[in-house]
Amino acid sequence: MIGVTDDSRDRDGDQMGERVKEAAYAAVGLGLLGVQRLQVRRRDVAKQVEPQVRDAAERLQRLATSTDETVNPVLDRLEERLPEATRDLVHSARVAAVDARDTALRKAASGGR
């Protein structure tokens, strides 16, 4: 080619490499800014939702207590009529269910912490 030297091609190649490198840095920087914005938004949403979750958990706990007061006497009478081995199994299942429910409600009441 007329007027094109190896030196000018090397210089153009070096400039192109620098531009690609700068574009990559800019893309990474924009990605990091996007992640930071998402984290801030997640925190904002959590601040809005946590009180609602705690309130719902408190209402569910009151409902569970009320339900226990109604249902437990009936289940107790039912358990009394069961054979001993079955009675023990049903009682263990009831205890496990109440423990799981209470754990879930405590976790919700504390905002999932």
Mean pLDDT of 3-32: 82
> 0.75 exceeded by the pTM?
no
> Is residue 13 assigned to a domain?
yes
Write the pLDDT tens digit of every residue in 18-62: 999 999 999 999 999 999 999 999 999 989 998 888 888 889 889
H/E segment holding residue 113: none
- The predicted pLDDT at position 113 comes to 64
For residue 67, the enclosing domain spans: 6-109
The two counts, helices (H) then strands (E), for the chain are: 2, 0
> Is residue 26 assigned to a domain?
yes
Give the pLDDT band (50/70/90) at residue 8.
low
Whose structure tokens read 């997640």? 42
For residue 61, which of 97, 104, 96, 95 has the smallest C-alpha distance?
104
Structural domain count, the chain: 1
Write the pLDDT tens digit of every residue in 60-105: 889 999 999 999 999 999 999 999 999 999 999 999 999 999 898 8
> Is residue 1 assigned to a domain?
no
